[in-house]
Structure 1
Amino acid sequence: MSISETLDPPVDVPTLPARDRILATAYRLFYRHGIRATGIDKVIAEAGVTKVTFYRHFPSKDALILAFLDLRHRRWMDWFVDALARHAAGSRRRVAVVAAVEEWLTADSFRGCAFINSVNEIGPELPEVYAIATRHKADMVAAIKATLPPGPNRTRTAQALGVAIDGAVVQAQCQRDAIPAVRALTTIASTLLKDA
């Protein structure tokens, strides 16, 4: 299964229960087009539900946003942990994190980090987004740390790699070209891992 199918699996939306239809539709629209650009009426229309049904399952757009971010977090972390393991087994352990991130940045479905995007779009209006994004980044760093050899700088190296990954994500998103971001991340990772 490709990364795009893992993070946004193809679903037969009309066959899903109403809540799942709404969430699957919002998941796709929020990530592809942005949270602000996606109104509730568009979600309702594409999910094929009524407003009453929508509000029965999600009392507000904010509740739907938080459900989207929670689902994105679980899917992305499942993919990331698997990608780290695959790349560690298939190549040198030290470059597994770069190979995994490159897989994501070069995917056709890549539209940046849903958590960075959400904080920038709506963080001040919906403070819970900060907590979800913080948890996501902490879990990402923990997954990176688990791939690093034991040593006194293991935690700091994982944290630095997390920051470097976020920088690579933003650069790839802004430039619409992942290659320079991956090259820079490779250089940073090589330097950090030399001292780990």
Structure 2
Amino acid sequence: MTPFTTETAPALKLPVANVDTDQLIPARFMKEPRKPDGYGRFLLHDLMQEGDIPEPQPGQKILVARRNFGCGSSREAAVYALGDFGFRCIIAPSFGDIFSSNCVKNGVVPATVDEADAEALLAAGDLPVTVDLAAQRITAGNVVVEFRIDPVWKTQLLNGWDDIDLTLAEADRIAAFVARDATERGWAAPRR
């Protein structure tokens, strides 16, 4: 995964609540059983066809939305589509639980902000948006807001780590525990 530190880019403003994973990528476009390239072209397809939202533009790497973004099914392809299009950060007041976890596993920052802050960012015009993960700060012109993210997810995203990398980062502590446990609870070790 590519580490995420700071990103400054144009943002897609999506003033819609409850955007579910089927709206992010309709099921009929999911033909690959694994993470494919090309899902980005189907991102928000039906909502755009209905004229309800602006079309994502190349270079937009940040998406600002209203509450409950990524709700619905546990469709990881929704995050594949966002990532394939080029989005690195989604900003919203709340997310579907599985969606936000899938974001982190695919290198996309799920930045949780207060509803008033989301509205301020949506109203900030076409200014570029800067997301600073280390400081947990978002800036768009004069609008500066703080965001929340799970500290473990923050560590993973800053380092570009998947779950295995996160575990390997603790290899010394794990080895020390195993050695200490073998001494303190030798009776618990499996017999060979």
**Common fold: TM-score over 0.5:** no
- Relative to its length, the structure with more helix (as a share) is 1
Name whichever structure is richer in strand by fraction.
2
Greater RCO (CA < 8 Å, at least 6 residues apart): 2
Structure of higher CA gyration radius: 2
TM-score, normalising length: structure 2: 0.29
Task: Report the TM-score when normalising by structure 1.
Answer: 0.29
